[in-house]
């Protein structure tokens, strides 16, 4: 869930107009209200009904106005591009590119607890988009789902960024002759680790400290990945 910005970070429509006029000299309050009516920006409203814009709203308005000015795009096309951005897709002049979730690494190259933090903009892909982005076949994706490597919340839910990363990894492993059925041990191992972490944080959950529980799980997971990676490196070194 996105953390709300503090009230001091919110701007009135007049303040937004002042920011926009530095680049769009002909912008008016009526135009901003029109874009809001068209659903391209959704500022918060105070109990008195006044609009309060975030910096994200300002960025969104600048994006819309640039597409209108520089590319003469109709609002229908701009609305689709905004929807793509909201789903974590990155529009490109030639083809809509899909941004792979970024992994936060420590100075030593290992994942950190922040690597396990949920992104504010969660990637949401259709099946066709996942197939194209991961460059896998329908049959390959079916196998990944059959063996629990790629999952989604419900059968009709979109695929998230984790599904994309897993699908790409499995596809690359397939080039070495490892099929999804060979990788079930990874799913089973991950599930065992998650069960172990749940036992550790259950006291925090009983204390109704969800924030502390989530932070503890992320730290445990980062340490687990670090340990696993180190043991694999150690095992490879002993083979020499």
pLDDT at 197 over 80: yes
Same domain, 202 and 157: yes
Report the C-alpha gap between 217 and 76 in whole angstroms: 42
The residue with greater pLDDT, 106 or 65, is: 65
Q: Could you give the angle at which helices 29-37 and 13-21 cross, rounded to 10 degrees? A: 110
Q: How confident is the model at residue 1 (pLDDT cuts 50, 70, 90)?
A: very low
DSSP state of 69: H
Q: What's the whole-number mean pLDDT along residues 171-195?
A: 91
- Is position 96 within any domain? no
Considering the domain architecture, whether residues 203 and 136 belong to the same structural domain is answered as yes
63 and 144 in a single domain? The answer is no
In the DSSP assignment, the letter for residue 44 is E
pTM, two decimals, is: 0.58
Does the structure show a pLDDT above 80 at 96?
Answer: no
**240: pLDDT confidence band, cut at 50, 70 and 90?**
low
- Residue 12 forms part of a structural domain: yes
166 and 82 housed in the same domain: no
CA–centroid distance for 80 within its chain: 18
Same domain, yes or no, for 147 and 227? yes
The answer as to whether 106 is a domain residue is: no
The verdict on residue 208 lying in a domain is yes
* Residues 146, 80 share a domain: no
Res 148: pLDDT: 94
Residue 100 lies in a domain: no
CATH number of the domain that 181 lies in?
1.10.1660.10
pLDDT digits (tens, 9 = 90+) for 30-87: 999 999 999 999 999 988 889 999 988 998 999 999 988 888 888 888 988 888 888 7
The whole domain housing 190 covers: 113-239
Same domain, yes or no, for 117 and 200?
A: yes
If asked whether residues 121 and 226 sit together in one domain, one would say yes
Query: How many Cβ atoms sit within 10 Å of the Cβ of residue 127?
Result: 13
**Does residue 234 share a domain with residue 121?**
yes
Assess whether 144 and 234 both reside in one domain: yes
Question: In the prediction, which pLDDT does 43 show?
Answer: 94
| 198, 133: one domain | yes
Last residue of a domain, one of 86, 105, 133: 86
Q: Within a domain: residue 155?
A: yes
Give the confidence band of 108 by pLDDT, cuts at 50, 70, 90. Answer: low
Q: What is the DSSP string of 8-76?
A: GG-B-HHHHHHHHHTT-TT--HHHHHHHHHTTS---EE-TT--EEB-HHHHHHHHHHHHHHHHH---HH
pLDDT in tens, 137-164: 999 999 999 999 999 988 888 998 889 8
pLDDT computed for residue 90 by the predictor: 65
In a domain, 37, yes or no: yes
In a domain, 104, yes or no: no
Computed over every residue of the chain, the mean pLDDT equals: 83
Give mean pLDDT, residues 112-133: 76
Last residue of a domain, one of 33, 51, 86: 86
184 and 193 Cβ atoms separated by less than 8 Å = no
Provide the domain count of the chain.
2
Together in a domain, 81 and 121: no
Q: How confident is the model at residue 36, as a pLDDT?
A: 94
* pLDDT the model gives residue 188: 92
């Amino acid at each position: 869930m996105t953390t709300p910005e503090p009230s001091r970070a919110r701007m009135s429509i007049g303040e937004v107009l002042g920011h926009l006029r530095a680049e769009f000299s002909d912008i008016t309050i009526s135009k901003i209200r029109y874009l809001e009516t068209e659903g391209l920006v959704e500022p918060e409203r105070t109990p008195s009904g006044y609009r309060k814009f975030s910096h994200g709203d300002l960025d969104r308005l600048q994006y819309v106005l640039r597409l209108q000015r520089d590319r003469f795009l109709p609002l229908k096309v701009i609305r689709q591009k905004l929807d793509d951005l909201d789903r974590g897709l990155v529009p490109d002049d030639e083809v809509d590119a899909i941004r792979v979730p970024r992994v936060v690494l420590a100075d030593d190259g290992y994942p950190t607890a922040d690597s396990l933090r949920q992104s504010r903009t969660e990637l949401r892909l259709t099946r066709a988009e996942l197939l194209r982005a991961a460059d896998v076949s329908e049959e390959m994706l079916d196998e990944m789902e059959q063996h629990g490597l790629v999952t989604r919340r419900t059968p009709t839910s979109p695929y998230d960024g984790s599904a994309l990363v897993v699908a790409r990894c499995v596809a690359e492993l397939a080039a070495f002759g490892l099929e999804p059925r060979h990788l079930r041990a990874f799913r089973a191992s991950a599930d065992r680790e998650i069960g172990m972490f749940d036992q550790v944080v259950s006291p925090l959950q009983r204390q109704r400290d969800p924030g502390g529980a989530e932070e503890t799980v992320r730290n445990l997971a980062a340490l687990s990945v670090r340990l696993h990676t180190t043991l694999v490196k150690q095992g490879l070194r002993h083979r020499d």
